[in-house]
Chains A and B, each alone.
Chain A
Amino acid sequence: MAPDQLFRFSVITTVGVLTTIVLGTITAALMEGRAIVKAFENMARQPSVADSIQAILLIVLAILESTAIYVLLICLVFLFANPFSNIFGL
């Protein structure tokens, strides 16, 4: 592979990965914020069920967080084990 091609491949991969992880984390953070706001509103409205809301909120947050983790995994695959690098013989 020519150096020019290698340079272009690396730049495109890096820009793609950076765009993906920025969009993925922003989406997950916004949606987590919505879940937290709703949970806090309802905790303030009904303090008697605040404990059970908090327990479920923790689990829901971990599940939402895993959406960002999936994005991170895809980014890691494209950084460290790019499936297209075999085609170019890198």
Chain B
Amino acid sequence: MPFNILVLACLAYVIFLFLVAFLVERRAAQGEAGWLRSPLVYTLSLSIYCSAWTFYGAVGYAARSGLEFLTIYLGPSLVFVGWWWVLRKLVRIGRQQHVTSIADLISSRYGKSNLLGVIVTVIAVVAATPYIALQLQSVTLSFGVFATAASEGLTPPDKDSTAIWVAAGLALFTILFGTRKLDANEQHTGIVTAIAVEAVVKLVAFLAVGVFVVWGLAGGPGDIVARINASPIADWQLQPGRWVGLMALSAAAVICLPRMFQVLVVENADERHLATASWAFPLYLMGMSLFVVPIAVVGLALLPAGSNPDLFVLTLPLSQGRGGLAMLAFLGGFSSATSMVIVAAIALATMVSNHVVMPLWLHLRPAHAVSGDVRRIVLRARRLSIAGVLALGYAYFAVSGGSAALAAIGLISFVGVAQILPPMLGGLFWRGSTRVGATLGLCLGFAVWAYTLFLPSFGPDAVIPAQVLAEGPLGIGWLRPQALFGVTGMDPLLHAMFWSLVLNTAAFTFGSILTFPSPMERMQGAAFVNVFEADQTGPRGWAQGRAEPEALLVMAQRILGDEAAQSLFEGAARGQGKVGYLPDATPKFVEDLERRLAGSVGAATSHAMISQLVGRARVSVEDLMAVANETAQIKEYSTRLEAQQDELTRTARALREANEKLTQLSVQKDAFLSQISHELRTPMTSIRAFSEILMEADLPPEMVVNYARIIHDEAIRLTRLLDDLLDLSVLENGSVQLNLGLASLPEMIDKALRTAGNTRPERVFAVQRDSAAEAIFLHTDADRLTQVFINLISNARKYCGAERPELRIAVRQKGGRVTVDFIDNGAGIAKEAQALVFEKFARLTDETRAGGAGLGLAICREVMANLGGTITYLPGQGGAAFRVTVPLRLEKAA
């Protein structure tokens, strides 16, 4: 097998994955995810549990210690078969709280404590680094197998440069698809689908090698059984301690590994998928393990002594001259390594950016929480973190030399992440667990793991001196890293797992029992432990009405993006029976908003950002009583009352608004009458005065012409006023004749800009447009729509008070409707006045009497209503902003 074909196949495969991820992302963006979010894809994505460690390492493991490798897959199988106990609760909580990572889960459970988030992040990164190194090593080794077999084609690069190319390529892929957008629920459809494809490839490859070995090299299952009994593997003795311990360890790891948590909880699109995965995932694991022992046995028999059993999957077909099969096996191993690294990098980068970078940044520049562009910062932090995680993995690979057996490294990682299990299970099932307990347990467990297993794994004298390993620090025998408290004769791995988890659990339990949780912890504890209880209208953490909705909108826009934030606020306002984009900042709304933001930046950060606007979270005595009140017999009755009260509150709010509007309208009507008499009288007065002068005889002719012109001008002004009024009343009656036709949006805007240029022509306006987005044809009344545009642009020219006036025209098409935003950089419109600008004769200031009678926006509103669209004021854009929405096709009947 020439090496260059191998490289070519590899590249082609990666490009294929790129295409899959890209197409899926595009379809998902069009809202047609459909089968891409099926239980099948979910189950297949879970298979990142089977990394290269499984694909190559399992055979090596079997060749070294017989059936013991099965424990690594039996443990997770039992966890999934028993999904009703833990996984179901985990997934429900993950979805309800918009959890972004396992660190976020722990931090959120223990009162949104960021310290815990940091600790879990550190544990996860330290434990995952060797694991990522392991994947790089396996890819490098498998390249090496082909390189030694190759005699023609490209010269294969050396080990280090292969690893660095692989690491860089993976970083690029992950950054491209993992951080393209900051999603509200942190799901990556494209990547998940690409990983599902990789899962199929690796299963097919492994089964193909297995079938080839059993039916091609051996004479079927009967022969295999005979060969197993004759091989060195038959001498294997089951060690009860390791058998039980490793099963428990792998069961813990399948929940606690950051990458597993990512696909299991964060990427879960529907809870029902978990039910399917409960049997389908064990089936997948079984398929991956079925042929491990046959491959190991046949490999040991056929290949020369001393060949690396970790690579039997590749070397066995190669030695039999089956280049194609070996290539398939190579792609399978490549798939398992890449998929694991991609997901692990995303999961770790999310944790690092949400729990380390963002809090630091908020701490250093608190003012930017509200005004800066948070999305860019978060995405950049994630990209850097992905590169950082892969660089760490590569560094570990380069330093350790990649020599140890694959299985050993994987198990060390497993013990590391298993430290998260006690606080996690405690948090899910025990309301009494506290932040202090969890912190103590995690720190102690992590320290014991590092001291007894991780650091000694580098070898004697690498980090821990050989003398300490043999005699203990300062000669204290009972502190020897591999024989803690005098426990000798235990397998080092089991020893480390036993002591770290025992001490971790003990510290967690006693720490929790002895300390008292803060109100926030108790609320979150109740929300987590009782997640299946129907009524989740628990106590609220935010005090009423401290936050300015507009400020909240501005912040939400920075994190969620303009469109998502605006539609969220609009929906909430509608739910409260209001129109526009600004709902009341009720505690419920603020809490919902916090959860949405938590889906992007994590619970602790989101909580911190909201509290900068709302003030400190206040938990009242009543709230605490609600937490404590376990018997809540009257709950149902009060729920009904509450529903009624909600209804009443909504109605009252609507009524209050209507009333306010009516009062203002009545004031306005009076103003309207006096205004209109005034507007009519001024020209009338001058007409009368000048016509009286004209009636006198013997005036010089030039004076006659002059006076006649004045009379004429004033009459035109009168006519225009009356025309506007007439126009308005026609529009209001809906009896207007529309002249429908196909019209080009950019042309209309061009025309409007030209015409509006006559208003205050001395001002220079910078106009920002996006011609790509504007290229839309509308079926509408072009003249009327242009009239609206002219009005908005002239208003901006008249009233924008900025030194360097700017007008941004943003066009967006969404579901058959086109929105055109006109945003200037002036002072904007005060909140009280926003509801009034569309009323007749509404003038914000008396001094700006730059012509017109205050009918412009009122006419605009009526025109838009006739065109089947709307015109609204868009708050929170840093200036006055109007949004015009028109249907793409206006039908005659409308």
User: Do the two chains belong together in a single complex?
Assistant: no
Residues on A lying within 8 angstroms of B by beta carbon are: none
